[in-house]
Structure 1
């Protein structure tokens, strides 16, 4: 799910949905809950980064950021 593929957008999203549902053992409610939680986490990270930039601080690289490079 992290690497872009050559699939058309809809197919990529369908595949990502199928993977998310499978990770939650087919439970749609759990899947939605997990996606909401992940979104809230990412929003929180974004707010922290925006605050650091506004304050003139350079955020320390995270483990995830070094994996993406």
Structure 2
């Protein structure tokens, strides 16, 4: 019986491709790519917090509190 394919392999390839694309987008500078991704994460965290605040506590049954701010 042939071995089952490793399910992590496609995800790893996708992650490698995404990393390569981020670096390429930043002119091949990995440090700039990391900085850009950190800015994107901060933006998405702020947006998620705004959305959590907009959802009524009754609807979410108190499951969604504001996340703690990340310490620099």
Aligned partner of 1:60 in structure 2 is: none
Aligned partner of 1:47 in structure 2 is: 49
Render the CA deviation track for 1:29-63: whole Å, top value 9, x for unaligned. Answer: 1000000000000000000000000367xxxxxxx
TM, length-normalised to structure 1: 0.67
Tell me the number of residue pairs that the alignment of Structure 1 and Structure 2 aligns. Answer: 50
Gaps of 5+ in 1: 1-6, 57-69
Render the CA deviation track for 1:2-54: whole Å, top value 9, x for unaligned. Answer: xxxxx700000000000000000111110000000000000000000000003
Aligned mate of 1:19, from 21, 26, 30: 21
Gaps of 5+ in 2: 1-8, 59-72
TM, length-normalised to structure 2: 0.64
Structure 1 vs Structure 2 CA RMSD = 1.7
Alpha-carbon distance in 2 for matches of 1:55, 1:9:
35
Whichever structure has more helix as a proportion of its residues is 1
2:27 alignment partner, SS class? coil
